[in-house]
A = this chain, B = another copy of it.
Amino acid sequence: MKSTLIDKNRTYGLLEKYKLVRKWTESICSPLQIEDYVVQPIEDVSPPKWHLGHTTWFFETFVLAPFFPGYKPYDAKFDYVFNSYYETVGSRIIRTDRGNLSRPSVSEVYQYRQYIDSHIKQLFGDTSADNALLDILELGINHEQQHQELLYMDIKYILGHNPLFPAYSHKPVFDEIEVSEGKKLRFSAGIHWIGFESDNFCFDNELGRHQVYLDAFEIAPYPVSNADFMEFIKDGGYHDFRLWHAAGWDWVNRNSAKAPLYWQFVDGQWMQYGLNGLQEIILKEPVCHVNYYEAAAFAAWKGERLPTEAEWEVASEQIKWGHRWEWTESAYLPYPGFKKAPGAIGEYNGKFMVNQMVLRGASVATPKGHSRKTYRNFFQTDQRWQFAGIRLAKEI
């Protein structure tokens, strides 16, 4: 971590970043109708209004309340409404109840944002801050960037599960790539360093940087395409238990799973809901919205496997990544030397290190500047609403 000296340039830079990030969050929401801000169709998906409030609450609770002299909370009850999971900070609304709250209204949430923004500008605008405080501000900014991706995920879920299939936008929202076949990349056996290494920001779970021994392996230069995955479906992949984990096979049967999330079989053809509405599937794009079970079953069908997160990181500079989060064969566990921060901030990552799998890379929905090769994303094995795809690897 950084020293606690006063740092003028860093203060200025972070405040500028703060303003840009806060504005971008609101840009993401600008095409929404008021009604879209409110609903929570499943427990994992939060109402957009809640994201707007929760990211703001983070700055209020961890920056303003302790550091702004004489700070007066916007509304004491918001603590209860917008806390997500910080046990340290007090009781909170249970996650499944977020979609029951019509109030505070959307416009009041925007007022809350303005109130916090103006205090943050006041706190950091006319003076420089010490590094300990700037560390929390920077964490808050990165936290809000994570929720920007969650906003895209949740908006897509809300609109994509509405029987009217409304479009979020009529213009392209994301930059996509075309998958090429490409030759497998080969890496020989040996010791590698992995984990974050620099003075810049990273999440606690990217540390400590440490060595791993890897056997020789090969890895695909591109993620798996929609065309590839359609082959898997046509070949009966969702009907062959031998390809699946036992828990995955249960998931298939309980949900009658037949295709990735948002795929719809309409009049004899596979269509896909995207933020532009229901459209034909583009075969050359990377497959999206598969869970770990589907990713692992696809790899088994190919006679290959998913890369480990260490393999992925070692190969990262030679592969094409950034359009889909990529499931790995690595469970989300602490690195050697991992340390939790004291207090509520320590709840950020460590307490989730069980029964989830690591995803590496970034997706089209990840904010610019928020990705790096050491970033460790994680989801439960049955979740599909994130922009997740598949990359293949195997031992040589």
Interface residues, chain A, with chain B CB atoms under 8 Å away: 33-41, 49, 77, 80-81, 85, 87-88, 93, 97, 99-106, 158-159, 161-164, 166, 189, 191, 210-213, 215, 241-242, 244-249, 292-293, 296, 305, 329-331, 333-334, 336-337, 346, 351-355, 357, 381, 395
Q: How far is the CA of A212 from the CA of B329 in the complex (A)?
A: 16
CA distance A381 to B101 in the complex (A): 27
Cα distance A164–B72 in the bound complex, in angstroms? 18
Judge whether A354 and B248 touch: CB under 8 Å.
Answer: yes
A100 touching B355 by the CB < 8 A rule?
no
User: Could you say which of B101, B163, B293 contacts A77, with CB atoms under 8 Å apart?
Assistant: B163
* Residue contact A333 to B334, C-beta cutoff 8 Å: no
CB distance from A48 to the nearest CB of B (A): 10
B244 touches A351 (CB 8 A): yes
CA distance A245 to B356 in the complex (A): 12
**What is the interface of chain A mostly: helix, strand, loop, or mixed?**
mixed
Contacts A191-B191, A333-B331, A354-B292 given; indicate if A100 touches B35 (C-beta within 8 A).
no
Cβ–Cβ contact A37 & B39, under 8 A: no
Contact (Cβ within 8 A) B245 A353:
yes
Chain B positions within 8 Å of A88 at CB level:
242
What are 16 A-B residue pairs whose CB atoms fall within 8 Å in the complex? A33-B105, A38-B39, A38-B102, A40-B100, A41-B100, A100-B162, A102-B159, A103-B162, A103-B166, A213-B213, A244-B351, A246-B351, A249-B351, A293-B354, A330-B333, A354-B357
A394 to B38, CA, bound (A): 46
A159 to B101, CA, bound (A): 8
Q: Which residue of B lies closest to A329 (CB)?
A: B333
Residues of B within 8 A of A87 (CB): 241-242, 249
- CB closest residue in chain B, given A157: B100
Q: Are A93 and B245 in contact (CB under 8 A)?
A: no
Question: A164-B77, A248-B354, A333-B331 are contacts. A38–B41 as well, Cβ < 8 Å?
Answer: no
Which chain B residues border A39 with CB–CB below 8 Å?
A: 38-39, 99-102
- Residues of B contacting A395 with CB < 8 Å? 336-337
Q: Please state if A35 and B99 are interface contacts (CB–CB under 8 Å).
A: no
Output the residue of A80, A104, A213 with the most chain B CB within 10 A. A213
Which B-chain residue is minimally distant from A45 (CB atoms)? B100
Closest to A213 in B: B213
Q: Which 6 A-B pairs have the closest CB atoms?
A: A331-B331, A41-B100, A213-B213, A35-B102, A34-B34, A36-B102
Across-interface contacts of A210 in B (CB, < 8 A) = 215
Q: Are B102 and A215 in contact (CB under 8 A)?
A: no
Contact of A104 among B93, B103, B164, B245 (CB under 8 A): B164
**Is A33 within 8 A of B103, CB to CB?**
yes
Cα A245 to Cα B87 with chains together (Å): 12
Q: Which residues of B contact A337 (CB under 8 A)?
A: 215, 395
| A172 vs B88: C-alpha distance when bound (angstroms) | 42
Residues of B within 8 A of A244 (CB): 351
Contact yes or no, A355 B381, CB < 8 A: yes
Q: Is the CB of A247 within 8 A of B355?
A: yes
Of the residues B38, B49, B85, B245, contact of A246 by C-beta under 8 Å: B85
* CA of A87 to CA of B242, assembled, Å: 8
